Amino acid sequence: MQRRKFLAIMGSLMAAGIFALGGSWWRATRWSPFTVQVERYQLGLSGLPSEFVNTRIAQISDLHLSDIVPAEYLQTCIDKVMAERPEAIFLTGDFLTAAPGHQRGQVFETYGASLQKLLRQLAAPLGVWACWGNHDISVGPGRMAQLLEDSGVRVLRDAWTRLRFPGGTQELAIGGLRDGLEFPNPKRAFEDLPEGEPILLLMHQPDLFEEWEGPENALIFAGHLHGGQVNLPGITSHFVPSEYGDKYLSGVFRKGSRTMLVNRGLGVIRHRIRFRSPPEISLVSLSLSEG
């Protein structure tokens, strides 16, 4: 091959490579972080009361409202949730994020009103329920608790209660755990729940699933890991905030009668980038599973 022709071919290949790389970077930083996917699941619980069969639950997690996760984007996510008309809405933590150098008060002063406006739009017959995430503890648990309460969101921290449809006669247990920074205690939190009773359970960090000490007949909703945010096989596992690498990155996990759904979250932290891990709204339809 003549040198001139070889250089022309190589030049074309390099140009194509640069163009492809630029396109991938644009997609990862400008498109993927704001292109939320609605993921639909049918998940079962043994002993699920008949009135709750086919109940639709929407889960969102890790909103991380901040200078890199704008309220306008989160508004589109809220609109999508409400368009599905779920019977219950679960929020599994990390509502705000403190930018480097921000003080706790600055975070609430800057983003608190916008977050409250978003959350007040959420409504469902069985209620809007939440657990806290590690960022919520960092930016101020007292003010966060007040903000959520004023927004009509009920937070469960190592506690449980029961759901009942308006006019219904049956009940279904629901519980929530403290964040890992608060040393949650599943065994103590649910010690008065009758053995074998099905329960819906909210927790932020999925690592607790590995050596579980809570109810076994549980459907658990978690978040925290953002699906890796940048999901590179063999690499992401070394950087995600989990003791188990990428084992519980996202999706459905089962152990015996216990099931966990890990949501990829809506927002991002540190950098406005997602790769092979799009933001997620989870829509779960409950079913009766064999015990």
124-167 confidence digits (pLDDT tens): 999 999 999 999 988 888 888 899 999 999 999 999 999 999 99
Single pTM value for the model? 0.90
> Tokens representing 276?
């092979």
Per-residue confidence (pLDDT) for residue 234, from 0 to 100 = 84
Say whether 5 sits in a helix, a strand or coil: helix
pLDDT greater than 90 at residue 15:
no
Contact present, 119 and 87 (Cβ < 8 Å): no
pLDDT the model gives residue 2: 45
The alpha helices in the chain, defined as continuous H runs, are 3-26, 71-83, 104-119, 134-139, 141-150, 186-189
Over pLDDT 90: what percentage of the chain? 73
Q: Name the pLDDT band for 103 (thresholds 50, 70, 90).
A: low
Confirm if 211 and 243 have CB atoms less than 8 A apart: no
Task: Report pLDDT for 109.
Answer: 86
Task: Extract the tokens encoding 120.
Answer: 């007040």
Q: What pLDDT score was predicted for residue 9?
A: 41
The pLDDT value given to residue 98: 67
Mean per-residue pLDDT for 27-55? 90
The per-residue pLDDT for 8 is: 44
pLDDT bin (cut points 50, 70, 90) of residue 101 is low
Please say if the pLDDT value at position 219 is more than 90: yes
3-state secondary structure of 70: coil
Cα-based distances in Å from 124 to 85, 97, 247, 286: 7, 26, 32, 16
Residue 291 pLDDT level (bands cut at 50, 70, 90): low
Q: What is the pLDDT of residues 271-284, one digit of tens each?
A: 899 999 999 999 99
Q: Residue 18 has what pLDDT?
A: 41
> What average pLDDT is seen over the chain?
89
Which of the listed CATH numbers 3.40.50.300, 3.20.20.10, 3.30.1330.40, 3.60.21.10 matches domain 37-289? 3.60.21.10
Which residue would you say has higher pLDDT here, 274 or 238? 274
> Which amino acid would we find at residue 207?
D
Tens-place pLDDT, residues 240-255: 999 999 999 999 999 9
The pLDDT of 170-176, averaged and rounded, is 98
Q: What is the DSSP code (8-state) at residue 215?
A: -
**Lowest pLDDT segment from 62-71, 214-223, 235-244:** 235-244
Beta bridge partners, 45, equal 288
> 249 and 280 in contact (C-beta within 8 Å)?
no
Sign for the CA dihedral angle at 245, 210, 145, 165 comes to positive
The arithmetic mean of pLDDT across residues 10-18, rounded, is 42
Say whether pLDDT at 233 is over 70. yes
Domain definitions of the chain by residue range:
1-34, 37-289
Look at residue 22 in the predicted model and tell me its pLDDT. Answer: 53
pLDDT for residue 13: 42
Q: Cβ distance 95 to 143 under 8 Å?
A: no
Backbone angles phi, psi at 24, to 5 degrees: -65, -40
DSSP state of 108: H
Spatial separation of the C-alpha atoms in residues 249 and 154, rounded to whole Å: 26
CA atoms of 265 and 278, how far apart (whole Å): 8
pLDDT band at 237 (very low <50, low <70, confident <90, very high): confident
